[in-house]
Structure 1
Amino acid sequence: MTPLTCRVFGHDYQFTAEGTTMRWSCVRECGAGGSKEYESAAQAQRYARAFDRKDTDDLGRRAPLMGLFPLRMARAMRKRVEGRRQA
């Protein structure tokens, strides 16, 4: 049976490469996972590294949603005003 956390938040996959095979499994040990073969070990390693990144790894480098909200609102208003001018 799938743990409650996996059912609510989704699986937390960890990706690894073994030769030309990339494998993934849920770190909560619920049994979810799989594998995929690539043409080279370098490709498998590259994809495993790319997929294994977490959003929290670069938390300080990305602006929070609320920090971007005024910019998004200004852009939306500008588009709306430009749309009225063209009509």
Structure 2
Amino acid sequence: MLRCQILGHRFRFYGEGETMRWRCVRGCGAEGAKRYPSEADAQRYARAFDREDLEDLGRRAPLVGLFPLRLLRALRRRGRKSAGTRTT
């Protein structure tokens, strides 16, 4: 699928017993699985991997495209830290 070739796959992760499975939601057919020692491990890893990067857009912004967003976030953090140490 052209969209996956350009933008990359968009995997969703889920657990089935002791196996963690993933599948591209764009319908290109990319999928896989990995077996873990316990069902709890498979579920834990599936939950950890199954999140949208959009949730952390300002915190984990790529250096190139979203650099201004990362810079703005760093300046805000710095402003909050220095505001707490000022004496008037």
Pair in the same fold by TM > 0.5 = yes
* Aligned-residue identity in percent: 54
SS of the residue corresponding to residue 14 of structure 1 reads strand
Match of 1:10 among 4, 8, 11: 8
Offset from partner CA, 1:7-32 (integer Å, 9 cap, x none): 00100000000100000000011110
Structure 1 gap ranges (5+) = 72-87
Runs of 4+ in 1 over 4 A off after TM superposition: 68-71
Counterpart position of 2:24: 26
More helix by share: 1
Structure 2 gap ranges (5+) = 61-68, 77-88
The 5-angstrom pairing of residues 32-43 of structure 1 reads 32-43=30-41
TM-score under structure 2 normalisation?
0.67
CA drift of 1:69 comes to 6.1
RMSD: 2.3
Counterpart position of 2:71: 66
Counterpart amino acid of 1:43?
D
Q: How many residues align?
A: 68
